[in-house]
Amino acid sequence: MTSLQQVQCPYCGETFETAMDTSGGSQEYIEDCYVCCRPILFRVEVDVDGELMTFEARREND
């Protein structure tokens, strides 16, 4: 299951859309910003039905 989300880069401030795969359950992963190429840490929380509950995008070292 995939959920498209608008994300604001914590480094450059640009907003972009990214696809989050919710089939693996709650998870953390790193994805580079499409604009400045710096690593963004994503924390994704998924409910038991695989639906996206919340997500957080922050700097890798925060």
Q: Provide the domain limits for residue 25.
A: 2-59
Mean pLDDT of the chain: 93
Query: What per-residue confidence (pLDDT) applies to 24?
Result: 87
Quick one: which of 16, 45, 50 has its CA closest to 32? 16
Q: Which among 46, 37, 48 is positioned nearest to 14, based on CA atoms?
A: 37
Tokens of 41: 């840490």
Domain count for the chain, please give it: 1
Q: Whole-model pTM?
A: 0.85
3-state secondary structure of 55: strand
The two three-digit tokens of residue 53, written as one number: 């509950």
